[in-house]
């Protein structure tokens, strides 16, 4: 839901949002009984500010909530909105009730839409904009940059192709200006009641590209697959880790009797799964993206049809020639190049044994059943 346009008026919450931007934060947390907290480089830290009373936070958020959002907060206990500060910053905000009052979690949205080349993504990602139909999924836990990757893909298409791009977002984050393409952005709860309703309408709106902010339920997933199957290029997200888990999540969303047909439709139309993590940089400043890539080759399609998703990891490992990449390989490459913290990479790796020689925190080694092991210093360089 979009908050009302602030015009030239400041809101009191703007001062706290500015504080977060000054700290280079990705998120600002305003919680009753605590000082404002900011997340920088993945870590949540307190600011040198006194604790906020619940009444203060209620007053802050009520200034920017429209009546429908206040009603949503009262009835459901939370409300989502995008907010444009009069000072120029844009934010995605979740307001929620908790045991001791109200909290507002504010995600900072960069003012510039990033280019694919600036995100440090693997080369195969840039090739995805060449597709005219099919399904591309960007997956990962919350806060791993999925929206940023999708925005960069849409921006690339917008800059270079003459197409009709429709986005369905909850809420709208990056604002796209139509360049060579026409970009129509619709916000869930403001412009359309749900992703399902937005997708049903989209199929009658002559889109070439459809971005679905989140594939939340079977009806939305089914419509996204239908759109891909009928010649549209569909971009979507799921909160899954790894390519095989993504395929399983889609299939398992449907009743058992429908899963065979879903596997066939998915196999025919899945172009790529990008599963990403943000990992702390080696120097502690910022984070770097590590990405697992599954490409929808004929061999991968057959595994999906046959329900052999447990073999997808092997398919990725042997598919480097067509741009596939396992998450562990991505992490190892970043460790060897000195770009990410080796301890963070060790914690996120599936097979931790390959990362033992780079670990500098010995207490982590018990995770591979070697509590007394010493990391090999000559291989940690």
Contact 143, 276 (CB under 8 A): no
pLDDT for the residue 248: 97
Q: Cα–Cα distances in Å, from 298 out to 176, 230, 295, 305, 319?
A: 35, 19, 9, 10, 12
Neighbour count for residue 204 (Cβ, 10 Å): 7
Contact 346, 282 (CB under 8 A): no
pLDDT for the residue 376: 42
- In tens, the pLDDT along 30-62 reads 999 999 999 998 889 999 899 999 999 999 999
- In tens, the pLDDT along 211-220 reads 999 999 999 9
Give me the chain's average pLDDT, please.
91
CA-to-CA distance for 203 and 90, rounded, in angstroms?
30
Please, which pLDDT band fits residue 9 given cuts at 50, 70 and 90?
A: low
pLDDT for the residue 307: 96
pLDDT of 336 above 80: yes
Instruction: State which H helix or E strand residue 252 sits in.
Output: helix 243-252
Please report, in angstroms and rounded to a whole number, the separation of the first and last CA atoms in the chain.
Answer: 49
| Rounded mean pLDDT, 231-235 | 98
- In tens, the pLDDT along 302-330 reads 999 999 999 999 999 999 999 999 999 99
Contact 122, 217 (CB under 8 A): no
Q: Which residues pair with 166 in a beta bridge?
A: 184, 210
Please, which pLDDT band fits residue 89 given cuts at 50, 70 and 90?
A: confident
Helices 54-62 & 13-22 angle (0-180, nearest 10): 100
Look at 159-173, 225-239, 366-380 and tell me which has the smallest mean pLDDT: 366-380
* DSSP of 114-134: PPGGGTT--HHHHGGGG-SSE
Does pTM surpass 0.85?
A: yes
79 Cα distance to chain centroid: 19
Which structural domains are found in the chain, ordered by start? Answer: 13-109 (3.30.450.90), 116-336 (3.40.50.300)
Please, which pLDDT band fits residue 369 given cuts at 50, 70 and 90?
A: low
The rounded percent of the chain whose pLDDT value lies above 90 is: 80
Instruction: State which H helix or E strand residue 51 sits in.
Output: none
Please, which pLDDT band fits residue 252 given cuts at 50, 70 and 90?
A: very high
pLDDT of 228 above 70: yes
Please, which pLDDT band fits residue 190 given cuts at 50, 70 and 90?
A: confident
Q: Cα–Cα distances in Å, from 174 out to 169, 320, 343?
A: 10, 32, 33
Contact 237, 138 (CB under 8 A): yes
CA angle 182-187-190, nearest 5°?
A: 130
């Amino acid at each position: 839901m979009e908050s009302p346009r602030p015009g030239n008026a400041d809101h009191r919450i703007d001062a706290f949002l500015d504080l977060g931007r000054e700290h280079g934060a990705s998120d600002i947390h305003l919680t009753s009984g605590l000082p404002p907290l900011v997340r920088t480089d993945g870590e949540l830290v307190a600011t040198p500010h006194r604790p906020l009373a619940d009444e203060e936070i209620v007053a802050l958020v009520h200034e920017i909530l429209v009546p429908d959002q206040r009603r949503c907060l009262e009835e459901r206990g939370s409300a989502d909105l995008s907010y444009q500060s009069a000072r120029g910053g844009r934010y995605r905000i979740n307001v929620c009730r908790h045991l001791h009052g109200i909290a507002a979690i504010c995600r900072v949205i960069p003012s510039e839409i990033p280019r694919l080349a600036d995100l440090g993504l693997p080369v195969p990602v840039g090739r995805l904009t060449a597709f005219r139909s099919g399904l591309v999924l960007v997956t990962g836990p919350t806060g791993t940059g999925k929206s940023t990757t999708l925005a960069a893909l849409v921006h690339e298409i917008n800059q270079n192709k003459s197409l009709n791009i429709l986005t369905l977002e909850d809420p709208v984050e990056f604002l796209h200006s139509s360049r060579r393409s026409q970009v129509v952005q619709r916000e869930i709860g403001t412009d359309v009641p749900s992703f399902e309703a937005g997708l049903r309408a989209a199929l009658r709106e002559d889109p070439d590209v459809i971005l679905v902010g989140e594939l939340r339920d079977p009806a939305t997933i089914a419509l996204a697959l239908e759109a891909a199957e009928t010649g549209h290029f569909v971009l979507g997200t799921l909160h899954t880790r790894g390519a095989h888990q993504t395929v399983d999540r889609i299939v398992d969303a449907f009743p058992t009797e429908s899963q065979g047909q879903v596997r066939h439709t998915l196999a025919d139309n899945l172009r790529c799964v990008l599963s990403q993590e943000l990992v702390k940089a080696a120097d502690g400043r910022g984070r770097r993206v590590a990405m697992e890539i599954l490409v929808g080759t004929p061999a991968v399609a057959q595994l999906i049809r046959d329900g052999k998703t447990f073999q997808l990891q092997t398919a990725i490992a042997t598919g480097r020639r067509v741009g596939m990449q396992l998450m562990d390989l991505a992490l190892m490459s970043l460790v060897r190049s000195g770009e990410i913290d080796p301890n963070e990479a060790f914690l996120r790796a599936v097979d931790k044994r390959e990362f033992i020689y780079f670990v500098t925190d010995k207490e982590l080694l018990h995770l591979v059943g070697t509590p007394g092991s010493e990391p090999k210093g000559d291989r940690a360089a």
